C-alpha cells in the first residue's frame, strides 16, 4: 500500500472524472468505488445518500482517490501533476504525449502551450475540463529515474518563496525519505527571490513529490481540492503525523488537516475500510477532528 496518495475533490462528478482519466492515461484502471451511507447523514449531506463517495483509481501506476464532495473546493494550478514521457524507453513517447495533451486540453485551458522550452524539447501545462492541472514533459533518457506521474506544489500567493522550506520540512516528517533534484533561481526573477527553488523534488516514504517557487504572480494557492492521504499503521503513527502536519486548527475535520504551507493532508488508519463498516462509523467520524481508532 502506498503511504501517500493524492486525493482530488470533485463537484458530484468524481465517477465521471475517474472514468475519463482512466480512458486517456496509459496503464490505468478503476480500483474501487465507495458510496455514501443511505441513512444517518447530517442535514448538509442528505442529498448525497447512496451516491458515490470516493473512487480509487490508478494512472500509470500512480494511485489517486477521487472524492465526490460537492462545490466547496475548486482546483488551482498551485497543485498540478507532472507526467513524464521517456523516449529512451518508448520510441512513441512524443506521440503518446501529444495524444494525452489533446485529450486533457479538450474542454480545458492551456496554461503554457505545448512546445520547446529550455528545460524540455516538448512540454506543456494544461488545466483539464475539470480544472485539474497537468504538466506534460518529454523526459531526458539520461536523467535520474522518476515515476511517470509526480505531484507538484507551486508556491506562490501567500506561500511565495517557501518551496525549499517545505521540502526540508517534509523530509523531516517522513521516514525513509531523501532529496532528489534541487535547482535554485540564481537571481531574483519576477516574484521568485534569488535562491528560491526553481525546481526541487523529494522522495517521501517511497513517493516522489516536486515543488517550485513561482516566478509570476499567482491569484490562488493550495486548498482542499487536492489533499494527500497518509496511511498509518496504528494510533501512535496517526498521533505523530497529526502533530507534525496539522498547523491550522480551523481546518481540522474528519482526519483532514492543513500544514503551515497551506497543503491539506488526510491522516487515516490503514484499516479505514474495516473501521467504516462498524455501526454508525460515519457519524462517529463526522464528530472527530483527529481520527481516533477506538472512537469508531
Q: Provide mean pLDDT across the span 125-131.
A: 98
Bridge partners for 193 per DSSP: none
**pLDDT confidence of residue 265:** 98
**pLDDT confidence of residue 156:** 95
Specify the CATH class of 4-59+225-295 in words.
Answer: alpha beta
Bridge partners for 292 per DSSP: none
Question: What is the chain's mean pLDDT, rounded?
Answer: 94
Specify the CATH class of 79-213 in words.
Answer: alpha beta
Q: Provide mean pLDDT across the span 90-100.
A: 94
In the chain, what percentage of residues exceed pLDDT 70?
A: 99
Domain 4-59+225-295 and domain 79-213, same fold? Reply is no
The cell numbers describing 99, all together, are 495524444
Q: Provide mean pLDDT across the span 110-127.
A: 96
Is residue 201 a contact partner of residue 254, using CB atoms and an 8 Å limit?
no
CA-to-CA distance for 248 and 226, rounded, in angstroms? 16
Q: Residue 68 — very low, low, confident or very high, per pLDDT cuts 50/70/90? A: very high
In the chain, what percentage of residues exceed pLDDT 90?
A: 82
Helix (H, G, I), strand (E, B) or coil at 20: helix
Task: Give 3-state DSSP helix, strand, coil % of the chain, rounded to 5.
Answer: 25, 35, 40
Is residue 216 a contact partner of residue 190, using CB atoms and an 8 Å limit?
yes
What DSSP assignment string belongs to 154-215?
EE-GGGTT-HHHHHHHHHHHSSS-EEEEEEE-SS-BTTBPTT-EEEEEEEETTEEEEEEE-S
The cell numbers describing 9, all together, are 475533490
Q: Where do the structural domains in the chain lie, given as residue ranges?
A: 4-59+225-295, 79-213
Q: Residue 142 — very low, low, confident or very high, per pLDDT cuts 50/70/90? A: low
Rg (CA), the chain: 19
* Model confidence at 122: pLDDT above 90: yes
**pLDDT confidence of residue 140:** 65
49-53, 138-142, 193-197: range with lowest mean pLDDT: 138-142
Amino acid at each position: 500500500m502506498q503511504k501517500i496518495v493524492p486525493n482530488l475533490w470533485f463537484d458530484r462528478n468524481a465517477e465521471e472524472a475517474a472514468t475519463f482519466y482512466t480512458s486517456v492515461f496509459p496503464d490505468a484502471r478503476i480500483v474501487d468505488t465507495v458510496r455514501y451511507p443511505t441513512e444517518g447523514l447530517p442535514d448538509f449531506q442528505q442529498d448525497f445518500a447512496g451516491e458515490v463517495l470516493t473512487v480509487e483509481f490508478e494512472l500509470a501506476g500512480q494511485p489517486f482517490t477521487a472524492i465526490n464532495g460537492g462545490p466547496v473546493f475548486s482546483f488551482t494550478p498551485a497543485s498540478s501533476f507532472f507526467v513524464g514521457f521517456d523516449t529512451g524507453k518508448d520510441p512513441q513517447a512524443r506521440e503518446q504525449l501529444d495524444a494525452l495533451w489533446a485529450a486533457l486540453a479538450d474542454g480545458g485551458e492551456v496554461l503554457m502551450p505545448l512546445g520547446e522550452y529550455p528545460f524540455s524539447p516538448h512540454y506543456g501545462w494544461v488545466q483539464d475540463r475539470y480544472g485539474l492541472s497537468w504538466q506534460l514533459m518529454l523526459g531526458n533518457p539520461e536523467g535520474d529515474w522518476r515515476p511517470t506521474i509526480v505531484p507538484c506544489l507551486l508556491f506562490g500567493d501567500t506561500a511565495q518563496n517557501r518551496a525549499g522550506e517545505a521540502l526540508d520540512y517534509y523530509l523531516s516528517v517522513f521516514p525513509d525519505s531523501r532529496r532528489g533534484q534541487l535547482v535554485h533561481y540564481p537571481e531574483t526573477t519576477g516574484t521568485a527571490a534569488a535562491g528560491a527553488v526553481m525546481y526541487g523534488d523529494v522522495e517521501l516514504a517511497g513517493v516522489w513529490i516536486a515543488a517550485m517557487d513561482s516566478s509570476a504572480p499567482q491569484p490562488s494557492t493550495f486548498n482542499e481540492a487536492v489533499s494527500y492521504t497518509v496511511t498509518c499503521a496504528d494510533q501512535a503513527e496517526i498521533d505523530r503525523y497529526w502533530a507534525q502536519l496539522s498547523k491550522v486548527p480551523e481546518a481540522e475535520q474528519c482526519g483532514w488537516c492543513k500544514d503551515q504551507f497551506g497543503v491539506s493532508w488526510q491522516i487515516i488508519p490503514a484499516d479505514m475500510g474495516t473501521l467504516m463498516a462498524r455501526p454508525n462509523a460515519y457519524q462517529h467520524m463526522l464528530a472527530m477532528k483527529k481520527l481516533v481508532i477506538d472512537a469508531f
